[in-house]
């Protein structure tokens, strides 16, 4: 993507795609902020620091929630109260530092806004509110002692940070994707349930109130009964005693089974569709793009040149660049550096004849070991095009002696067979 190609929308930014650490002409301050942004971004695991931060974040959240649960046991709270307080304080402090880092890097998340707008956009986002509530109620009693009980209640909101764990695992992300894709159908089914609940509650109140004025005191009593019946919970604290009320209760109970089955069926169908799509992708054997990986060595003519200036053939692209354990999605102004590992991609030629290549590892008892290439008894349709020895690539010639451990790359005009120890592999 060149400099003049900019997205039309302003979505949240993928740190790997837009912010390579080693991009030239970027101020040191901005590079440091982008590095912090990649570290705190969920699921960016291209180096050890990012992985460790994700692990620490998850452990801090789990420990914090465990402390909340264990604090509800009086005997544990009495015996280990000081340890629990220390653990809670440490984890909440980590949440505070994490929040400050996210404020600091908000402009990396929303790069199409200025500093102030990007910070406000994060602060008032769902994620920002959850992050704020994960630590703020812990510190508020220090400044407002009279509201300690209320602030303690808000601490429960930190459990919403569990949604962050969902982002680490693709299997859990399936749930979020299904709810997002089926939200219209789910909202329609919930709307139908609410309408049915309201109608049945008013009808039941009208029937049962004259006979049970203390039980069905108002319309809300009917709503409580309708909710417990439609959702098949049936607490039994409110129930009809008249014949008309019981008859209506039977009808509502049957309708409730069907109404609850609607959102359940929608979600189940979403799971089937999602996993069927994954299976089709995983079982696909069509190869539309081929890739090759090379490493740029010292003295290469490409060093210091921008990608847009390389003059690659039509149909060939640079897919990714690996640089110092970082994965860079290349843009036109990214410069090639010594040591870069470049992955090229090219479309397959439709209708072209297949090229049969094979790697043969020469083991201890291989009959080719110790022979010169010109002495090998192979088909005239088969050619040795490359030999890999001790990490080096050798161009073959007739006098080259093959050694144990060599990897021989062969090309064949037709499908033939090559001797390989006691095995025989097609090429």
Sign of CA pseudo-dihedral 86, 90, 91, 95:
positive
Directed axis angle between helix 183-208 and helix 243-283, to 10°? Answer: 170
Q: Does residue 132 contact residue 99 with C-beta atoms inside 8 Å?
A: yes
Q: Does the reported pTM lie above 0.95?
A: no
CB atoms under 10 Å from CB of 398, counted, come to 10
Q: In the predicted model, what is the mean pLDDT of residues 325-344?
A: 83
What is residue 173's predicted lDDT score, i.e. its pLDDT?
64
Write out the two tokens for 125.
């986002």
Provide, rounded to the nearest whole percent, the portion of the chain with pLDDT above 90: 3
Q: What is the pLDDT of residue 83?
A: 92
List the single range of 86-100, 115-129, 322-336 with lowest mean pLDDT: 322-336
Cβ atoms < 10 Å from Cβ of 201: 23
Q: What burial class does residue 50 get, using C-beta atoms within 10 Å of its C-beta: 0-12 exposed, 13-18 middle, 19+ buried?
A: buried
pLDDT over threshold 70, residue 368: yes
C-beta separation of 218 from 205 below 8 A: yes
| Among the ranges given (183-187, 239-243, 318-322, 347-351), the one the predictor scored with the smallest mean pLDDT | 347-351
First CA to last CA across the chain, in angstroms? 39
| Dist. CA 98–CA 88, nearest whole Å | 15
* Mean pLDDT across 328-332: 78
- Cα separation values, 273 from 177, 279, 280, 341, Å: 11, 10, 11, 38
Higher-pLDDT residue of 347 and 131 is 131
Helices (H), 320-366: none
Least confident of 168-177, 265-274, 333-342: 168-177
Q: What percent of the chain has pLDDT over 70?
A: 74
pLDDT at 349 over 80: no
Whether the pLDDT of residue 280 is over 70: the answer is no
Q: How many other CB atoms are there within 10 angstroms of residue 294's CB atom?
A: 12
Q: What is the DSSP string of 242-295?
A: SHHHHHHHHHHHHHHHHHHHHHHHHHHHHHHHHHHHHHHHHH-----EEEEEEE
How far apart are alpha carbons 216 and 387 in whole angstroms? Answer: 88
The answer to whether 236 and 214 have CB atoms below 8 angstroms apart is no
* pLDDT in the model for residue 387: 87
Q: Is 325 exposed, middle or buried (0-12, 13-18, 19+ CB in 10 A)?
A: exposed
**What is the spatial distance between Cα 392 and Cα 403, in angstroms, rounded to a whole number?**
13
Distances (CA, A) of 344 to 62, 348, 361: 42, 13, 26
CB 18 within 8 A of CB 107: no
Cα–Cα distance between 116 and 118 in angstroms, integer?
A: 6
pLDDT given at position 97: 92
Q: What is the mean pLDDT of residues 112-136?
A: 85
In this structure, what token pair is assigned to residue 405? 């451990």
Q: Give the distance from CA 134 to its chain's centroid.
A: 22
Structure tokens at 300: 């290469």
Confidence of residue 103 (pLDDT cuts 50, 70, 90): very high
Residue 301: CB atoms within 10 A of its CB come to: 9
Q: How confident is the model at residue 395 (pLDDT cuts 50, 70, 90)?
A: confident
Q: Residue 161 — pLDDT band, cuts 50, 70, 90?
A: low
Residue 384 clears pLDDT 70, i.e. is over it: yes
- Average model confidence (pLDDT) across the chain: 76
HSE, CB side, 13 Å, CA atoms: give it for residue 146: 0
Q: Which tokens belong to 239?
A: 């129930």
Residue 96 has pLDDT above 70, yes or no: yes
């Amino acid at each position: 993507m060149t400099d003049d190609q900019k997205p039309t929308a302003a979505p949240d930014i993928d740190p790997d795609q837009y912010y390579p650490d080693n991009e030239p002409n970027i101020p040191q301050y901005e590079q440091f902020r982008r590095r912090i942004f990649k570290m705190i971004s969920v699921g960016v695991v291209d180096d050890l620091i990012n992985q460790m931060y994700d692990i620490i974040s998850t452990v801090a959240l789990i420990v914090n929630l465990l402390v909340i649960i264990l604090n509800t046991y009086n005997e544990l709270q009495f015996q280990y109260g000081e340890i629990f307080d220390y653990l809670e304080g440490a984890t909440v402090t980590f949440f505070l530092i994490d929040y400050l880092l996210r404020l600091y890097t908000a402009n990396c998340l929303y790069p199409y806004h200025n500093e102030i707008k990007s910070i406000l956009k994060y602060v008032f986002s769902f994620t920002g509110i959850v992050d704020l509530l994960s630590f703020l109620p812990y510190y508020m009693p220090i400044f407002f002692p009279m509201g300690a009980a209320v602030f303690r209640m808000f601490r429960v909101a930190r459990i919403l940070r569990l949604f962050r764990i969902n982002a680490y695992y693709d299997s859990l992300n399936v749930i979020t994707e299904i709810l997002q894709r089926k939200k219209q159908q789910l909202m329609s089914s919930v709307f139908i349930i609410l309408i049915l609940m309201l109608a049945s509650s008013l009808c039941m109140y009208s029937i049962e109130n004259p006979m049970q004025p203390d039980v069905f005191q108002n319309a809300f009593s009917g709503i409580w009964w309708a909710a417990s019946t439609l959702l098949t919970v049936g607490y039994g604290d409110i129930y009809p005693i008249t014949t008309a009320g019981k008859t209506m209760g039977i009808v509502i109970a049957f309708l409730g089974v069907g109404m609850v089955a609607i959102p359940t069926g929608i979600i189940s169908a979403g799971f089937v569709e999602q996993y069927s799509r994954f299976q089709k992708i995983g079982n696909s054997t069509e190869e539309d793009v081929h890739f090759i990986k090379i490493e740029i060595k010292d003295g290469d003519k490409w060093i210091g040149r921008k990608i847009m200036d390389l003059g690659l053939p039509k149909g060939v692209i640079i897919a990714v660049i690996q640089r110092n354990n970082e994965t860079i999605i290349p843009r036109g102004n990214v410069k090639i550096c010594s040591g870069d590992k470049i992955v090229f991609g090219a479309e397959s030629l439709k209708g072209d004849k297949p090229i049969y290549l094979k790697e043969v590892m020469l083991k201890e008892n291989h009959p080719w070991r110790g022979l010169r290439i010109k002495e090998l008894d192979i088909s005239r349709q088969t050619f040795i095009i490359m030999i890999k020895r001790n990490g080096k690539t050798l161009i073959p010639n007739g006098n080259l002696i093959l050694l144990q451990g060599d990897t021989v790359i062969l090309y064949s005009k037709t499908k033939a067979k090559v001797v390989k120890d006691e095995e025989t592999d097609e090429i």
